[in-house]
Amino acid sequence: MARRRATSIWTATAVATTVAVGGAVIAAPPAAAATIERVTVSQAGYSASGHKVGSVITDGALPGSTSCRILQGQTVVVPSCSLLDRGTTWGDRVYVVDFSTLTTVADDYALEVGGVLSPRFSVTENVWAGYLDEMTAFYRLQRSGVATSDAYPAGYSSIAPSDKIFHGPGHLDDAASADGTVHYDLTGGWYDAGDYGTYGGNQWVGGNIAITYLRYGDNAAVAFDNDDNGVPDLVDEARFGSEYLLRMLAAFDGAFWDVKGSGGFQHPDAHTDGIVGTGDDRRISGYGVGGSAKAAGSLAATARAVEKAIADGRVPAADLGEWQAFAAEAEAGAVAFYEYVDAHRNDPIGGYSTTRGGIANSLLFAEVQLHLLTGDTAYRTSAEATIAATEYSILSNTNYWDMGPLSMAELYPVATAGGKTNIQRYLKKQLDYILSTTDDTPYGVVNQFKNFGVNEPHVSYVADAMRYYELFGDQRALKAVQRGLYWVFGNNPWGTSWVSGVGENSVKYLHTRLDEEAQSQTGTGVILPGALVSGPNAKDPLDVRSASPWYQDRPVWQDSGQQWRYNEYSVSIQTGLFSALFGLTAIGDAAWSAGTPPTTLTVTSPQIGDQVTGDVTVFAQSGSSLTQHALGPDWTPMTAAGGVSTGTLNVDALAPFTTARIDVRGTQASGAQSYSSTHYTVAPPLPSPDSPLLYDGFGRDGVFGMQGYTWVNWYNNHAGVGSAVNTTVDGRTVARLFQNPASAMSQAKFQPWHHSVDASGYRYLTVTMRTPSPNLRLRIEVSDADSNHRVTGNTPIAVSGEWTTYSFDLAQFAGLDRSQAKLVFWLQQTADTDGELLVDEVSFTNQAAGTAPTLSAISHTSGSLTTGTDVTVQATYTDADGEAPHAVELVLDGVIHRMTAVDPSDTDVTDGAVYAVTRRWVKGVHTYDVRTTDTTSSVVTSPAVTGVVVG
């Protein structure tokens, strides 16, 4: 789905303006007509008494006469509504519509603005209660070791799963020891995601399910029993997860191991034969005590939930003894896991585990739940000591990376007086962060995008805000919870509901191996009820030059390597949504409108999507009530002057196309802090002989290599097999491409997934490689969207047995678009013998030639400048060889802006050609220079111009 889609056009009056720069007159283009791209709402619907908000995404300012109304079916029920202009966000003009006064319960509503309709939505008494069975259905459908039809009775949830995800019991042969000689009974548990792995670091999620019942189980809507076994489904699911933990305990006496293994896009019962002792049994790996600590907390929470269900009369009398015995076993298991971790605190913590606070953070979860279960104050004392020693800091995820917020909220009601003070202080700081970072945009989302979707940290913060509201009654937190959920259900720039099956525009192409048609171009995706996918990234993982943030509901066959970054779901991603929906159901029509919002803090530069280089100046603005501005992550004090605070960071050490987040904070007189965030992308070097573009150095470096993937053997022509691994040879990090042919005709195809690279401005593909296989022959192809070229020639080439650097001239291929180059290496042996190619480095390069260009007559708009001034910078580019520039760029405070020719028809640069760029500068004191390259000589940079004041 493209971000921009024309749906209705409003024509504004076009007015041309002129700007004088250094005596020249440069005409500014007239204003374009504004386009309403889409109108977005929560496709899950709204509660009658709840906050209600939608968005209008446009590419410009709308006329004041733009219509706004709400329809039910075709009937107008709200004839007018107000458009609140929230300015430009992520390249779009955004208007917010608050229609909280619409309280009539009905279906088939739509928000219509300028003739453009939103998706349909409903208003119900409590909209969240309608999605609870999807929350437990999700976990049932992730169960390992059982048939889907057994875990998910027919009609279990109001949103049905796709028929094609139903399967038989999978991985009944889990698991073998690392060397394959011993079998352990590790059947069961939940598959973490669509890849069928089970991980120690995620073993807190069963505890979260149990805690949800403990918190809200007195509400009949929460204590549902859709499988009709007489026990609330939340308790059933918590027990299912705990049974896996007890098997792990029986096998390893407190140690915890991962069980990995993904296989192809096929059902789990087809991955292995299910027979213990055969060669396909999955093996344990990834030992860590973090999983053990989380298992202790989950077992204790589950024992508590079972005891509550028994006390509430929600366990059949005939089954009481068996459930009581299970609760006792869970309690004993919790203690055993805890004692193991306590005795092995210096052991590896394991994957998907807490990274801040070490094992003490994971143990905090266990200690709190064990205290609540047993009443033993020693657990509470230890937990409160950990909390007292924990300084607040911002984390990108709040679930399995940090068990603190959940554990503190759980402990608070029974904490000591001192413990309560420390807990509330910590959680209040976190709420300040949540509230102030979600006001960065009109959508109520935490502003922290990266290379894995934002929804996981976002919904984790939403759940934390929900728990804060329950403890302290801060209505601002409750409003933030609602706004945050509207984001995931469709009130976002893409108009996409990222919760499977919810809404008319919900995500279809989930990254799951349950979808056996995922790699077929005729596949239609799947519905896994309630599954929340990870959502928008900082960038398109297949296009480093894409807009930020980015999202597309793209099927696997279009993106088999990276789709998991944005359409992945998992048992841990789900937990924030799970907790919040049950919490909102339980509180009903609680008030949400009181409270003062945090003081706004705005980062004006750089903006998300900006490419930067060298020293980058961060500009932040806020009202006078905020002082002590500081730049994260180490909270370095910023310099304040004239209502603007600035700080500087240097990006020289970061790889090209790295995207990173900047956090800024300011402090109120009360000590409360406001935060704002932005992002930047490190620009690639301008192409020149001394600035090659490293594509892959096979040591997690280079444009592709930094993603951490090996190349893949996609295909073997005329039979045979191939493999690709990254390894170390002769002290070099290399790719080892191996072919076992069936005959001399066999060809093995190797590729860096489907990745393409912008190599424009570079003439040569340069590869450093050798082969120990004298029969090996190599063909390298470079393709774009329309053409394919054999850069090694029509005949495969022999490769030296010594390390040799080869350069292939891409200029020979006039039809090749180097801005979207894709690489393919083909191996072929001259005889039926194995062959391997060792590749040390793949780069794009240039060779020196001619003379360097010059830049002169650098100037900018003169006079008094304000944020409303169109500031033009111009420069004259001259090249004695007549070579046109690859680019002329303004580097303003470290942010790159492309300059264009003032007279495009003047192509003779031997006597100079004027380049310019016009834009509005943010408030503050600025520094700039201009740089350029002709690609065959070194980059030329003008002297810096400093002290340019914009008021």
Please give the pLDDT value at position 623.
73
Instruction: Please choose, from the candidates 891, 867, 890, the residue with its C-alpha nearest in 3D space to the C-alpha of residue 644.
Output: 867
Predicted confidence (pLDDT) per residue in 99-152, tens digit? 999 999 999 999 999 999 999 999 999 999 999 999 999 999 999 999 999 999
Q: What is the mean pLDDT of residues 48-75?
A: 97
Residue 242 has pLDDT above 90, yes or no: yes
What HEC string does 576-587 produce?
HHHHHHHHHHHH
Please give the pLDDT value at position 22.
45
Is residue 685 reached through a cis peptide bond, with omega within 30 degrees of 0 on the bond before it?
no
Q: What is the mean pLDDT of residues 157-168?
A: 97
Q: Calculate the CA dihedral of residues 728, 729, 730, 732 and round it to 10 degrees.
A: -50
Residue 1 has pLDDT above 70, yes or no: no
**Is 493:92 a contact under the CB 8 Å cutoff?**
yes
Q: What is the mean pLDDT of residues 513-525?
A: 95
> Helix, strand, or coil here: 379?
helix
DSSP string, 231-293: S-HHHHHHHHHHHHHHHHHHHHTT---EE----SSS-GGGTS---TTSTT--BEE---HHHHH
Please give the pLDDT value at position 841.
98
- Tokens found for residue 539: 């960038």
Strand pairing of 611-612 and 673-682? parallel
Rounded CA separation 69/116 (Å): 10
**Is 526:515 a contact under the CB 8 Å cutoff?**
yes
pLDDT classification of 402: cutoffs 50, 70, 90 = confident
- Residue 89 β-bridge partners: 92
Residue 14 has pLDDT above 50, yes or no: no
- pLDDT: is 280 or 400 the higher one? 280
Q: What is the mean pLDDT of residues 408-415?
A: 98
Please report, as a single letter, which amino acid is at residue 391. E
Instruction: Please choose, from the candidates 490, 491, 435, 424, the residue with its C-alpha nearest in 3D space to the C-alpha of residue 461.
Output: 435
Residue 873 has pLDDT above 70, yes or no: yes
Residue 20 has pLDDT above 90, yes or no: no
Cβ neighbors of 561 (< 8 A, separation 6 or more) are 541, 709, 712, 753, 754, 755
- Tokens found for residue 112: 């219509």
Q: How many helices (H) and strands (E) does the chain have?
A: 14, 44
Average pLDDT over all residues of the chain: 93
Rounded CA separation 338/332 (Å): 10
Residue 334 has pLDDT above 60, yes or no: yes
On the CB side of 813, CA atoms within 13 Å amount to: 23
User: Which of the residue ranges 73-87, 388-402, 612-626 would you say has the lowest mean pLDDT?
Assistant: 388-402
pLDDT classification of 396: cutoffs 50, 70, 90 = low
Predicted confidence (pLDDT) per residue in 711-734, tens digit? 999 899 999 999 999 999 999 999
Rounded CA separation 144/879 (Å): 67
**Is 438:487 a contact under the CB 8 Å cutoff?**
no
- Residue 46 β-bridge partners: 123
Q: What is the mean pLDDT of residues 155-172?
A: 97
Given its phi and psi angles, is residue 430 left (phi above 0), alpha (psi -120 to 50 degrees) or beta?
A: alpha
Predicted confidence (pLDDT) per residue in 753-777, tens digit? 888 899 999 999 999 999 999 999 9
pLDDT classification of 560: cutoffs 50, 70, 90 = confident
**Angle, helices 132-141/233-252, rounded to nearest 10 degrees:** 30
List the alpha helices (DSSP H) in 689-743. none
Distance (Å) of CA 324 to CA 320, 329, 336: 6, 9, 18
pTM, to two decimals: 0.91
Please give the pLDDT value at position 9.
30
**Is 667:628 a contact under the CB 8 Å cutoff?**
yes
List the alpha helices (DSSP H) in 282-403. 289-311, 320-343, 359-374, 377-388
Q: Tokens 């996981």 correspond to what residue?
A: 456
Residue 860 has pLDDT above 50, yes or no: yes
Given its phi and psi angles, is residue 702 left (phi above 0), alpha (psi -120 to 50 degrees) or beta?
A: left
Strand pairing of 712-717 and 835-845? unpaired
